Amino acid sequence: MPRFYIETDLAVNTTVELTETVFHHWVKVLRAKLGETATLFNGQGGEYYVTLSEIDKKSAQVFVDGFSANNRTPAKSTLLGQVMSKGDRMDYAIQKAVELGVTEIQLLTSERCEMRLKYDRDQKKIDHWQGIAVAACEQCGLNIVPKILAPLSLQDWLKTDLPTTKLVLAPEKEQNNVLENTSTDFALLIGPEGGLSEAEIEQAHQVGFKNWCIGDRILRTETAPIVALTLINFA
């Protein structure tokens, strides 16, 4: 059954007009016919089962048949602090982090950050990444769409109110199991392609972050959150 995100209020036993985006994808691209069913979610929690009840040339309506409160969110809540990278690496990191159930993604800048968003480009790029998060939710079944938060400097982010368990991916000689006896809410800090500087790692330590070294190999900035979130989810 196709599944779509729709920016409108939904309620059982009501008729709802499809947004232009959903109409185009479901009716025009997938060529849906009257009586076909789909799943809709609006990011407010749960999902709705609908039947296509009316099709016009430029619009369509559905009848909302039922509701499920299952959001498929992981038992552990993770705020990902991701230093931005250029090209499609950031797209990939956001897509996979959402599929793995991240709660929020805070975009960060650091000493070695390759990317600086400026003025009118800021919101356009953030909207693009938020769209990737929505598409990932459509694919993986999450019903609460993680927010992509506007960029902060690493120093400013470290001053905010962060979750109880704080982990930064960085070298650690002893390689202790940092996931033992942790809380269910995490702050996960991932540096840029060149890594965080020693000074930045020390700043993170000062607010309670612990180094987390995942194996002997150095992971790319877009690979690191996938591995880390997987380990957190199944710890």
Question: Domain containing 18 — which CATH number?
Answer: 2.40.240.20
**What is the predicted pLDDT for the residue at 181?**
83
CA distance 151 to 117: 8
Provide the number of structural domains found in the chain: 2
* Pair (16, 39) in one structural domain: yes
**46-60, 177-191, 217-231 — most confident range:** 46-60
CA distance 114 to 44: 34
**Tens digits of per-residue pLDDT, 9-21?**
999 999 999 999 9
* Pair (104, 51) in one structural domain: no
**What is the predicted pLDDT for the residue at 174?**
62
Treating both helix axes as pointing N-terminal to C-terminal, what angle do 120-140 and 89-99 enclose, rounded to 10 degrees? 40
Closest CA to 186 of 77, 55, 54, 87: 77
Region 188-208 average pLDDT: 93
Residue ranges of E strands in the chain: 3-5, 15-17, 37-41, 47-55, 60-68, 77-83, 104-109, 147-153, 165-169, 185-190, 210-212
* Pair (81, 63) in one structural domain: no
* Pair (81, 133) in one structural domain: yes
* Pair (8, 92) in one structural domain: no
Region 102-123 average pLDDT: 81
**What is the predicted pLDDT for the residue at 120?**
56
Output 146-149 pairs: Cβ under 8 A, ≥24 positions apart. Answer: 146/97, 146/98, 146/102, 146/103, 146/104, 146/105, 147/104, 147/105, 148/94, 148/105, 148/107, 149/104, 149/105, 149/106, 149/107
**What is the predicted pLDDT for the residue at 121?**
65
225: pLDDT confidence band, cut at 50, 70 and 90?
Answer: very high
Last residue of a domain, one of 42, 68, 94: 68
CATH of the domain at 220: 3.40.1280.10
Last residue of a domain, one of 11, 41, 68: 68
Please list the helix, strand and coil fractions of the chain in percent, rounded to the nearest 5, in that order: 30, 25, 45
* Pair (117, 225) in one structural domain: yes
Report the first-to-last Cα separation within the chain, whole angstroms: 32
Q: In the predicted model, is pLDDT for residue 141 greater than 70?
A: yes
- List b or e across 154-188, with b for residues whose CB sees 16 or more CB atoms inside 10 angstroms: beebbeeebbebbbbbbeeeeeeebbeebeeebbb
* Pair (122, 84) in one structural domain: yes
- The overall average pLDDT reported for the chain is 92
Last residue of a domain, one of 39, 68, 97: 68
* Pair (92, 151) in one structural domain: yes
**Tens digits of per-residue pLDDT, 64-109?**
999 999 999 999 999 999 999 888 999 999 999 999 999 999 999 9
Choice among 68-77, 91-100, 213-222, 224-233 with the minimum mean pLDDT: 213-222
**Tens digits of per-residue pLDDT, 32-56?**
999 999 999 999 999 999 999 999 9
Choice among 21-35, 55-69, 106-120, 175-189 with the minimum mean pLDDT: 106-120
* Pair (153, 52) in one structural domain: no
* Pair (198, 165) in one structural domain: yes
* Pair (121, 219) in one structural domain: yes
Domain that holds residue 104: 77-233
Region 134-152 average pLDDT: 96
